[in-house]
Structure 1
Amino acid sequence: MYDQFCAGRNRLEIQARILQIKALGFSGVILCYGKENQIQKSGQHLVDNVEHSDSVLDEELQFWRQGNLETLDMIGDGDFLGIKYSGAGKSITEDLLRGKAPPRAFVEAMDAILQKALAQNCRIWIDAEQQFLQGSIDRWTIDLMRKYNRGRKPVLYNTLQAYLKLSREKLQDQLRLAQREGWQLAIKLVRGAYIENDMRERIHDTKEETDASYNGIVRDLLSGDVKGLGTEFPTMQLFLAGHNPVSVSKACNLIRELQQQDRLKTLPEFGQLQGMADQLGCEVLQHGEETAKASASAARTISVPKVYKCLTWGSVQECMQYLVRRAVENHGATGAVKDSMPALARELRRRMVDVVLWRRRRTSS
């Protein structure tokens, strides 16, 4: 499980994995430090309730700060750092749970991380977490966006979970706020990963409803058709994270269609988790290559979306909650593998034919 879904435990292992991914043609990586805290459905921590001294709580925060700064040292130009606020320790998780303002030490830590990311042309996305924490996560992140997303290229992304019934309403509210206050909203759109230990009543009742929510949000943002924004759609950034081939195919086709009509409002980037739907990321890369060739032959400039791989690093213990979520998400992986087998068989045959033809040409020459 660890080797399948995690990048490694140290810089040497992680950078070797990053080189492999970029060699395949991916534009870059999103590197995430795996440490986090989770909450039970009752709203209580999954960790013990033993009281800790202020010095111990501060040590947790400083350890998290240093871990994220070190993670930035492992990535390059244009890459992402993925952050979980709950990884900053029990005290920060309690503040999130109780709806408090972020402590000064946390704000200082985020300022240091964001300033370093800006200096090396990296970006940061804030991972979604359980709904007990998410309201505070959104407020803290928007406060940081007000400060750091005012340039041409925003540095900070928040996460929107499409499996939540109010996801579309939340997106509309955040877009209106950014438009009114003059900063750029940057969103990573996911389906959602906390269904096993989150508030079920807030989640769509069926998978089909979640699919419709995700695909509808993509359509709205690419076409600029969002209620309550007036005629002028604001500049924003969108990252489409997902492993559903139907949704990815629909998004790629819609991008091409809207570009041909000069109606594309946002060019998204794509990404999948390491170890999940690896063939899907390669299909998006291939779609981009075909689009670029078609635009060149038609003497028309068409932008091609970038594709990334999301990697999580840390010890097995630090990555345990992450691995549990991957196990839940892959519960139906057998069916997905069966669905992809015909395409894999065709690709294998194609490569075998290419090898045979290459050998014949080499022999004849």
Structure 2
Amino acid sequence: MENSSGPYRKKIDEMSDLMKDMLNLTKDLQLDFSNTQIAFADRSDKELNKTAWLFGLLNHQWLVGIGSKIGLAAIKLHLPFVQGAIKNTIFEQFCGGTTLLEAQKTIDRLQRSNIKTILDYGAEAKEDESELNHTMNENLRSIEFASKQSFVPIISTKLSGLGRFELLESVQAGVAFTEETKSEYKSILRRLDAICHAASTKGMSVFIDAEESWIQDTVDHLAEMMMKRYNTERAVVYTTCQMYRHDRLQYLYELYERAQKEGYLLGVKLVRGAYMEKERDRAEEMGYSSPIHATKEATDEAYNTALRFCINHHDKIASCNASHNTDSALLQAKLMVERNIPRNHPNLMFCQLYGMSDTLTFNLAAAGFNAAKYVVYGSVREVVPYLIRRAQENTSVTGDMSREYRLVADEIKRRGLKM
């Protein structure tokens, strides 16, 4: 080290201070995200070993790449043995069940750890009217099902499951309606309104997921329309902000101002984002500036700034911190405790995907925070695109253990088991 008083020394001092702050924060909050005993308390030794085996496979990038292509092709060819293999491995890890009744076991299991369930029917990118209506009806069934359960307060839906993607894209691009597309667009409104109305009357809420930037303006418009209609007394409808987009922080501020002016409670789910490579590739291909922050640090800063804003206005914004980032989870927990906001405040929620980041969800719930799992359900065929994304997220590019694999391995070691 060249100079103990130079930039290197300063960096080490900053890291040392951060570690001290983390230790003090953990003690004050009674919250330890390294506690795998709590995170995997509901898993038997056999289940834990199976999870380790699965994440071990997912840790190989080449295997996930080949498996994704073969899996998609086999599902399209209706090969039954492939569906069975998927259902007993990756589906079992990341999905709650093929039907609502199957998902009940997952809901009950989470409830025993004081964790809520956010139900999501996993169908994506539907095209014809019968498929789109089926998705709407399944959403309505999930609302009816969830309304009878105290630990399922919210369902999630995608606009691309309620209307043709190409239509949503053409609306955003300003393409003039024909009589046919005008009728189609009205059908999207009808489907979305039916879901939000059912949620309103049943005491439920609805997350409207964010999607690709080239349809997101259309999604935003429809989400705002539903919030204005149904969020007069409580947050029935939540929109979603993907904070890896460099325009989303300003959008959040403007959205809040509109909600205040028009007299409704803002509902916001914060995520970092799910389509980074797709967004950047399209921007490069079509010759426009990427909507994504140039660095991860910029995304993190935008996300945490948005988080602070929502917490500062939690009386007028119902928010969900839907992140797998430990620092963001700690930030919200810290701010809530410092400001004496009840840990189970209904306007401040944490949420992670089922099958991932159990050290966050289970430890937050054990510490009394309002924590939930995002539980996807549906037939194996319908959820394969979702499962491929989960597999790719848990693949190690560097050859090191992925985070999920490492945490499971830590718990296996703590139990004195062999991998």
Give TM-score, length-normalised by structure 2: 0.66
Inter-CA distance 266–176: structure 2 relative to 1 (3 Å threshold)? farther
Relative to structure 1, the CA distance from residue 219 to residue 33 in structure 2 (aligned partners, 3 Å threshold; closer, same or farther) is: same
Distance 1:257 1:343, change over 3 A: farther
Q: CA deviation at 1:175?
A: 0.6
Label 1:234 to 1:337 Cα distance change in 2 as closer, same or farther (>3 A): closer
Distance 1:115 1:223 in 2: 29
Tell me, in whole angstroms, the C-alpha distance in 2 between the residues paired with 1:127 and 1:341: 29
Q: 1:140 aligns with which of 203, 206, 222?
A: 222
| Higher RCO structure (Cα 8 Å, ≥6 apart) | 2
| Whole-angstrom CA distance in 1 between matches of 2:407 and 2:94 | 19
Partners in 1 of 2:100 and 2:407 — Cα distance?
Answer: 33
Residue 247 (1) aligns with residue 328 (2)? yes
Q: 1:199 to 1:312 in 2, by over 3 A?
A: same
Map 1:170-181 → 2, pairs under 5 A: 170-181=251-262
Rounded Cα–Cα distance in structure 1 between residues aligned with 2:211 and 2:388:
14
Of 70-79 and 331-340, the range deviating more from structure 2: 331-340
Runs of 4+ in 1 over 3 A off after TM superposition: 337-349
Partner of residue 328 from structure 1, selected from 392, 404, 409: 392
Deviation by residue 1:272-324 (Cα, 9 ceiling, x = unmatched): 10011012111112332xxxxxxxxxxxxxxxx31111111112221122122
Q: Deviation at 1:126?
A: 0.3
Q: CA deviation at 1:348?
A: 4.7
Report what 1:53 is aligned to: none
- Over aligned residue pairs, what C-alpha RMSD do you find? 2.6
Tell me, in whole angstroms, the C-alpha distance in 1 between the residues paired with 2:163 and 2:189.
14
Aligned to 1:127: 209
Identity %: 30
2:339 match: secondary structure = helix
Name the CA shift for 1:89/1:179 in 2 (closer, same or farther; >3 Å).
Answer: closer
Counterpart selection for 1:283 from 363, 366, 369:
363
1:109 equivalent in structure 2? 191
Structure 1 position 21 matched with structure 2 position 110? yes
What is the count of residue pairs matched by the alignment? Answer: 301
Note the alpha carbon deviations across 1:113-137, whole angstroms, 9 max, x for none.
2222122211100011111111100
- CA distance, structure 2, for counterparts of residue 220 and residue 110 of structure 1: 28
User: 1:183, CA displacement in angstroms?
Assistant: 1.1
Question: Does residue 166 of structure 1 match 2:247?
Answer: yes
Partner SS state of residue 202, structure 1: coil
Give the match for residue 68 of structure 1: 139
Match of 1:191 among 256, 264, 272: 272
Q: 1:13 to 1:338 in 2, by over 3 A?
A: closer
Amino acid at match of 2:130: E
SS at match of 2:381: coil
In structure 2, what residue type is equivalent to 1:256?
A: V
Matches within 5 A, 1:203-282: 203-224=292-313, 235-259=316-340, 267-282=347-362
Q: Using the alignment, how far apart are the partners of 2:385 and 2:404 within structure 1?
A: 24
Does the residue aligned with 1:237 lie in a helix, a strand or coil? strand
The SS at the match of 2:264 is coil
CA distance in 1, matches of 2:135, 2:408: 42
State the AA in 1 paired with 2:140: L
Q: Is the 8 A contact 2:349 2:370 kept in 1?
A: yes
| Aligned-partner Cα distance in 2 for 1:283–1:115 | 34
Counterpart in the other structure of 2:120: 32
Query: 1:327, CA displacement in angstroms?
Result: 2.1
Instruction: Give distance in 1, aligned partners of 2:363 and 2:256.
Output: 31
- Normalised by the length of structure 1, the TM-score is 0.75
| DSSP-derived class of the 2:335 partner | helix
